[in-house]
Structure 1
Amino acid sequence: MESVKILIIEDEKDIVELVAYNLKKENFIVDYSYNGEEGLNKIRSNKYDLIILDIMLPGIGGFELCKKLKEDPKTAHLPIIILTAKTLEADKILGLELGADDYITKPFSPRELIARIKAVLRRTKPISPNTEKIIQIGNLKINKDKYLVTLKDKPIELSATEFKILLYLAENKGRVYTREQLIEAIWGSDVYINPRTIDVHIKRLRAQIEKDPSKPKYIKTKRGIGYYIPDNIK
């Protein structure tokens, strides 16, 4: 994956050196920052393909930084992998709800980290077909060329993973998918993803596109099975 540039935001020098060493062996271009504020400034002044982000950082913390990046239209689609010593399920859910594409806990395997990075890059790679393709479901439009979702012609900011999930369900309207099937379709079979991750992303999607997330029109739940988009929405 030559020419892919990754920024590591981590305050432990040993971790930065370990991660950077393994990334460079895979031909990634590596930059790093030891605190959140410097990392944010680097992101705003440089172009990166992926961010590896610690949570417990001096200055701006990792959760706050993730939130800032996902709320800014200029950086909302930038893939983020959280790499942290915080192992509580509540922290993992918060990281995913804030828009992180993956969450890895320390201690970690460098080989697994590389596999996760490659999986995230595959699923967040922009789609660039020869002709513009738009899927319209009711007032919801999905532009596959521009990676853009609009609701009543108003842009909706989604993370790359959320876009992939929405697009997959939209392209297969009427079919119910289990969490495991969605994981296989979006992440592939080379990494382990907790099925709860799908629920977190669906919750975020509904918060963005549904008038009443408790009574969804677009992304419905088939109790005990999974999720689907009805094929009769007008």
Structure 2
Amino acid sequence: MDSTKVLIVDDECAIRDMIRLALEMADFECIEAENIQQAYQLIVDERPSIVLLDWMLPGGSGLELLRRLKREELTGEIPVIMLTAKTTEDNVIHGLDVGADDYITKPFAPRELIARIKALLRRTGSGASVEGSKYQVRDLLLDARSMRVFIREHAVVMGPTEFNLLQFFMSHPERAYTRGQLLDQVWGVNVYIEERTVDVHIRRLRKALQSPWGDYSSVIQTVRGTGYRFSPNATLQLD
């Protein structure tokens, strides 16, 4: 496969070396940073395909850098996997709420990390072809080829996972899916992620669909006791 540039951000040299060796054996190109200042400069200068970001860093937390990356237009679309020793559910959900696309807890097996990276790159369109399909519900339009979403011809900003969730929903309307089924369809069957992660991304998708040009969040419906459903006929709050 084509070389994909991965930025490893961790203050422990031994961990960076372990990750770099594993990724280089899998044909990834690696660059490294040991603090958030170095990391931000490399992200701006090198534009990596994906960032592996440790939670605890000197001079500021990885969460602080994540907030900055997701806030700025230049860096907001770069996928981020959090590397964390914080295993409580609240901490994990907090990282996802801030904008992380995935997380993996230490210690982890290099093969699992590589699988997570490849799955995330597939979700963001790197290394995979995208069918030239368009899906439309009233004034909501998803263009799979350009990976853009519009409401009344105005671009809607959302993360790559939310985009892929919306594309899956729009291509399978009026069908209820469990969280496990959504994980398999959107994240991939070989990626082990807690089902609670789906709820976080559903919440982020609904928020993105609450645009000034029309509120389409109600098309993503909660099916009690099952999971979620996309309903094109839902009552909308339109201006």
TM over 0.5: yes
Corresponding position of 2:16: 16
Corresponding position of 1:70: 70
Corresponding position of 1:2: 2
Corresponding position of 2:167: 167
Q: Distance in 1 between matches of 2:139 and 2:72?
A: 24
Contact 2:70–2:76 under 8 Å retained in 1: yes
Q: Distance in 2 between matches of 1:107 and 1:150?
A: 41
Q: Distance in 2 between matches of 1:129 and 1:91?
A: 33
Alignment partner of 2:32: what SS?
strand
Q: Distance in 1 between matches of 2:181 and 2:150?
A: 26
Q: Distance in 1 between matches of 2:13 and 2:45?
A: 23
Work out whether 1:200 is the aligned partner of 2:200.
yes
For structure 1, the 5+ residue unaligned runs are none
Q: TM-score, normalised by structure 1?
A: 0.91
- Supply the RMSD in Å over aligned alpha carbons: 2.2
Contact 1:10–1:53 under 8 Å retained in 2: yes
Alignment partner of 1:22: what SS?
helix
Give a deviation string over 1:1-49, Cα, whole Å, max 9, x none.
Answer: 4311100011111110110111111111000000011111111111211
What is the Cα deviation at residue 168 of structure 1? 0.3
Give a deviation string over 1:174-227, Cα, whole Å, max 9, x none.
Answer: 11111111000011111211110000000111111136xxx9422111111111
Alignment partner of 1:217: what SS?
helix
Q: Distance in 2 between matches of 1:191 and 1:91?
A: 20
Corresponding position of 1:100: 100
Contact 1:76–1:158 under 8 Å retained in 2: no
What is the Cα deviation at residue 128 of structure 1? 5.4
Structure-to-structure mapping, 1:35-54, within 5 angstroms: 35-54=35-54
Alignment partner of 2:94: what SS?
helix
Corresponding position of 2:226: 225
Q: What is the aligned length?
A: 232
Structure-to-structure mapping, 1:129-168, within 5 angstroms: 131=132, 133-168=133-168
Q: Distance in 1 between matches of 2:78 and 2:137?
A: 26
Q: Distance in 1 between matches of 2:110 and 2:129?
A: 31
Q: Distance in 2 between matches of 1:129 and 1:36?
A: 33
Q: Distance in 1 between matches of 2:141 and 2:71?
A: 21
For structure 2, the 5+ residue unaligned runs are none
Q: Distance in 1 between matches of 2:141 and 2:209?
A: 11
Give a deviation string over 1:40-78, Cα, whole Å, max 9, x none.
Answer: 111111121111000111224211211222222332221
Q: TM-score, normalised by structure 2?
A: 0.89
Alignment partner of 2:8: what SS?
strand
The residue identity in structure 1 corresponding to 2:118 is: K
Q: Distance in 2 between matches of 1:129 and 1:9?
A: 30
Q: Distance in 2 between matches of 1:139 and 1:154?
A: 10
Corresponding position of 1:109: 109
What is the Cα deviation at residue 162 of structure 1? 1.0
Q: Distance in 1 between matches of 2:199 and 2:84?
A: 22
Q: Distance in 2 between matches of 1:191 and 1:130?
A: 23
Alignment partner of 1:77: what SS?
coil
Indicate the structure whose relative CO is greater, using CA pairs within 8 Å and at least 6 residues apart. 1
